[in-house]
Amino acid sequence: MNQELLHCLLGFYKELAKDTSVGYNPMSEFVPYVTTKEIVHTKIISELLNPAGCHKEGTKYLEAFFKFFLNPIKYDDYHDFKIIRERRVHRVLTEGSVRSIDVLIESKDNFGQKHAIIIENKLNHAEFQHLQIEDYSQGLARESVHVDAVIILHDRYQHSFNNKYHSERTLYPKDLAEWINSVNPNHIGIKAYADYLITINNQNIPYENSRKMLDLSIDEIRDLYELNKAFENLTASKNDYIVEHVKEALPSGHSIETTFSTLDEGCKALQLWNQTDYDKTDLWIAVFHPGNPADDDNSTYVYLYTHDRKASNSEIVRRLGYEMQGSQEGYTYFRAPGDKCRFSFFDKPRRKQLIDEIVRLLKEIHELGNTDQP
C-alpha cells in the first residue's frame, strides 16, 4: 500500500473525527433503557411543542419546529394550534377499531380548514405496523382534516418504510437536539435532554463518517478497503506476535500450545499453556484483547485460568502474585492486582512487559509444577 496515500487517508479520517467522534459519556449507559420507552420521548416532545407547556417559552419550540423541519409550510399561515398526544383515529385500511398517533399538531388555516402534522415516534427503533401511516392519514381525512406532513422520529439511519399518500421527513436524535438547543441552550433541564439525544445519535457516527467518504476518489476507496481488511486481521497479528516472541524467550525445549477464541461482546482471547505443566497444575494463561482492536489503551489483560479450586491451586496462583477474580461455567480465573494485569499493545515498552509477563508465568508454572505442592 502506498504509504503517502495511507497517511493522507488517516489525515482525512482525523478531519472526520473532529465533527463526529466523542469521548466517554456516562449518559450512554442509560441509552438502552430509555430508548426502549417510546412514551418517554413522546411525552417530552409533545410538551416542548405545546405553547402552554411547562417550558415557559410559549410558541418558540413550535415555531422553531416549523422553521427547521416543515419548510415550505409556514407557521404564520395557521392558528388555533393544538398539540395532541396519542390522538385516536379510526382505521380505514386495516382491521380493528382505532389507531393512536403519537403526536399530532392540529391547526386551522384562514378559511377554517383543519390541518394536521403527524409525528410518529420510532426512537425506540420499533418496526412500522402494516399500513400504519396510511391508516393515520385516511382516518384523519374521514374527519375532514388535511394532513400537510408526516414526520418520522427514528434513532437509526438504516431503516425503510413506504408511505404513498404524503411526503414525509425523517428526523434523527441529532436533528431534534439541534432544534431544542436553538430555542434556549441555557435551560439546564431541557439541554440535558438534548445532550441525551446526541448520546443516542452516537450509534449513527459510523454512518455519518461513511457519508463523508463519498467525496473520496475510487483509488482512495480501494486503498481504504485494503486498509480495512488489514485492520480486520489486526488481532490475529497481535496473537502471532505474542506467540512468536514468547517462544523465542522461552528456554530450549519448553514448548507451548495455543488456541484462540471469541468471547461475549466480541472480546478476543489467546490461550497459552505447556501441556506437561497443565497436566500437573491445571493452569493456563489467557490474554484478552478488546473487541474493537483500536480500543487498545491499557486494555489487553493477562489472566490465569484453572478448572480446579483445590487449595493447592490457590497456593500456586498466590505465589505467582495473582488474585482470584471469579468463576463461571466450571472455571476459576485470576489476575494480578491493580494495573499489573493491564497492557497496551501499541505502547512498545508495555508490549515488551506483556511478553515478559507471559514468559514469567510459563516458567514459574513449570517450576512450581515440578515441586511438591502443599
Is residue 265 situated within a structural domain? yes
Query: Are 192 and 248 members of one domain?
Result: no
The letter for the amino acid at 354 is L
Closest CA to 342 of 297, 283, 310, 372: 297
- Give the C-alpha separation, 254 to 273, whole Å: 10
Count how many domains the chain has: 2
* pLDDT 10s digits, 210-256: 777 888 888 888 888 888 787 778 888 889 999 999 999 998 888 89
CA angle 204, 206, 211 (to 5 degrees): 95
Query: 262 — phi, psi (to 5°)?
Result: -105, 125
- Give the C-alpha separation, 159 to 185, whole Å: 30
Is residue 9 situated within a structural domain? no
With a cut of 90, say whether residue 14 has pLDDT above it.
Answer: no
CB 127 within 8 A of CB 155: no
CB atoms within 10 A of CB 145: 19
- Give the C-alpha separation, 291 to 25, whole Å: 19
Is residue 40 situated within a structural domain? yes
CB 99 within 8 A of CB 133: no
Which residues, listed in sequence order, are joined to residue 272 by a DSSP beta bridge? Answer: 258, 285
Is residue 200 situated within a structural domain? yes
Query: Are 351 and 293 members of one domain?
Result: yes
Query: Are 266 and 139 members of one domain?
Result: no
Query: Are 196 and 275 members of one domain?
Result: no
Is residue 261 situated within a structural domain? yes
Grid coordinates representing 197 are 439525544
Last residue of a domain, one of 176, 209, 242: 209
- H or E stretch covering 83: strand 79-90
Contacts of 210 (CB under 8 A, 6+ apart): none
Work out whether the CA dihedral 78, 81, 85, 90 comes out positive or negative: negative
What is the pLDDT at residue 32? 54
Is residue 12 situated within a structural domain? no
Last residue of a domain, one of 209, 243, 258: 209
What is the pLDDT at residue 33? 53
* pLDDT 10s digits, 85-114: 999 999 999 998 899 999 999 999 999 999
Is residue 8 situated within a structural domain? no
